[in-house]
């Protein structure tokens, strides 16, 4: 590995660590949160915010920014952790997570939070909004990308497939979608709730330039983002990220997998310590 790649990886890894840490601290504030998802998607968010995307922390509505749409609004805790790390949301607001009058409500809402581009929560809507944004950006002659993060569970929603089909039809090469495949949704493993494989073949058949990576392998994630941005064909770009619920905190990784894991009051500190212990591995 050459020095610049190695330096990039080290920088993104440090931010990923701090995003996980922010998420755990917010979880502790409320005693709950979609922590396992925040830990699994931290490497993707770190790559997006500290390698791939253009934005100005002091001006979240900067016209030239890349847009990041969080379709799965219940991952808000993960995105807040990234927005805090990116300096878009002040560090001190971390302690307000989920509290009355906070700008960081439990489910992501555009009108509440700087840097939040859409209101998620009702699942399966992100890609449809992204299609309109991508069309709008093209109409303006903008070079910005529209990133959309959604979850494997959202593949149950028909509107996702409407969005997938139309993005290819309209040749939206300014769209980069990331599916978080952690194979967990509310009623159990996603693949059992509604079988979605073979996902790569489906996305390719829908006309997307598709890569499938281990979403917790930073080198692979960084390379996938680079390839997505630089792909030469006039196609939308898909990154399927297979992730590990609870990634970075071994005792949470090992916990029986549920959509909303139980974290006991005394475990938040243990989780922070476990995360710290694995920091430079």
Task: By CB under 8 A, name the binding residues for another protein.
Answer: 109-111, 117-119, 121-122, 125, 127-137, 139-140, 158-159, 162-163, 165-166, 169-170
Q: Least separation, in Å, of the C-beta of 13 and another protein?
A: 33
**Residue 82 or 164 with smaller CB distance to another protein:** 164
Q: Least separation, in Å, of the C-beta of 214 and another protein?
A: 30
- SS3 assignment, position 150: strand
**Residue 27 or 124 with smaller CB distance to another protein:** 124
Q: Is the separation of the CB atoms in 155 and 145 below 8 Å?
A: no
**Residue 47 or 119 with smaller CB distance to another protein:** 119
Q: How many CA atoms lie within 13 A of 210 on its CB side?
A: 16
**Residue 27 or 73 with smaller CB distance to another protein:** 73
Q: Return the number of other C-beta atoms located less than 10 Å from residue 191's C-beta.
A: 14
CA-nearest of 149, 152, 107 to 127 is 149
Q: Least separation, in Å, of the C-beta of 68 and another protein?
A: 13
Q: Least separation, in Å, of the C-beta of 224 and another protein?
A: 24
**Residue 122 or 258 with smaller CB distance to another protein:** 122
Tokens representing 154 are 């959202």
- SS3 assignment, position 70: strand
Q: Is the separation of the CB atoms in 263 and 27 below 8 Å?
A: yes
Q: Least separation, in Å, of the C-beta of 61 and another protein?
A: 10
CA-nearest of 107, 197, 117, 109 to 152 is 197
Distance CA 156, CA 196 (A): 8
Q: Least separation, in Å, of the C-beta of 170 and another protein?
A: 8
**Residue 25 or 109 with smaller CB distance to another protein:** 109
* Look-up of token digits 């609870």: 246
User: What radius of gyration do the chain's Cα atoms show?
Assistant: 18
């Amino acid at each position: 590995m050459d020095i610049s790649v190695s330096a990039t990886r080290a920088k993104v890894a440090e931010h990923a660590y701090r995003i996980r840490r922010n998420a755990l601290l917010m979880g502790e504030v409320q005693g709950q949160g979609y922590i396992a998802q925040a830990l699994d998607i931290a490497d993707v968010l770190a790559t997006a915010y500290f390698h791939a995307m253009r934005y100005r922390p002091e001006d979240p509505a900067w016209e030239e920014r890349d847009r990041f749409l969080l379709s799965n609004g219940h991952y808000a805790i993960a995105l807040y952790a990234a927005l805090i790390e990116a300096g878009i949301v002040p560090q001190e607001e971390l302690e307000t997570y989920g509290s009355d009058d906070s700008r960081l409500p439990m489910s992501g809402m555009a009108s509440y939070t700087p840097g939040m581009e859409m209101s998620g929560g009702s699942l399966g809507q992100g890609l449809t909004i992204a299609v309109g944004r991508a069309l709008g950006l093209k109409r303006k002659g903008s070079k910005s990308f529209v990133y959309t993060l959604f979850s494997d569970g959202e593949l149950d929603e028909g509107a996702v497939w409407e969005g997938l089909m139309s993005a290819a039809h309209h040749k939206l090469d300014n769209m980069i979608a990331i599916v978080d495949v952690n194979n967990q949704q509310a009623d159990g493993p996603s693949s059992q709730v509604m079988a979605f494989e073979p996902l790569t073949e489906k996305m390719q058949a829908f006309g997307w330039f598709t890569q499938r990576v281990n979403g917790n392998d930073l080198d692979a994630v960084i390379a996938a983002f680079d390839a997505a941005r630089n792909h030469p064909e006039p196609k939308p770009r898909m990154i399927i990220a297979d992730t590990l619920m609870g990634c970075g905190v071994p005792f949470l990784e090992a916990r029986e997998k549920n959509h909303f894991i139980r974290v006991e009051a005394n475990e938040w500190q243990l989780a922070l310590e476990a995360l710290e212990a694995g920091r430079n591995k």
